[in-house]
């Protein structure tokens, strides 16, 4: 399990290609809509975001 402090330092540690919680978004179960973006596109965009410094505008 990753700690918040670790994630603040390196978002790329999240394995969005295979993480069970992330994958749930594309198969959320009865009565729920899946993410409206293909998983491979999401993973690519997430990795790019992490590589560029994981900016989070507020």
For residue 57, is pLDDT > 90? no
What percent of the chain has pLDDT above 70?
79
Rounded distance between C-alpha atoms, residue 38 and residue 58, angstroms: 27
pTM here is 0.72
Q: Where are the domains of the chain?
A: 9-51
Residue 24 has what pLDDT? 95
For residue 24, give the 3-state DSSP assignment. helix
Query: H or E stretch including 17?
Result: none
For residue 6, is pLDDT > 60? no
Residue 38 has what pLDDT? 96
Q: What is the mean pLDDT of residues 13-41?
A: 92
């Amino acid at each position: 399990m990753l700690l918040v402090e670790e994630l603040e330092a390196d978002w790329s540690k999240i394995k969005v290609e295979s993480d069970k919680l992330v994958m749930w978004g594309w198969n959320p179960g009865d009565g729920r809509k899946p993410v409206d973006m293909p998983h491979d596109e999401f993973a690519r965009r997430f990795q790019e975001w992490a590589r560029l410094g994981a900016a989070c505008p507020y």
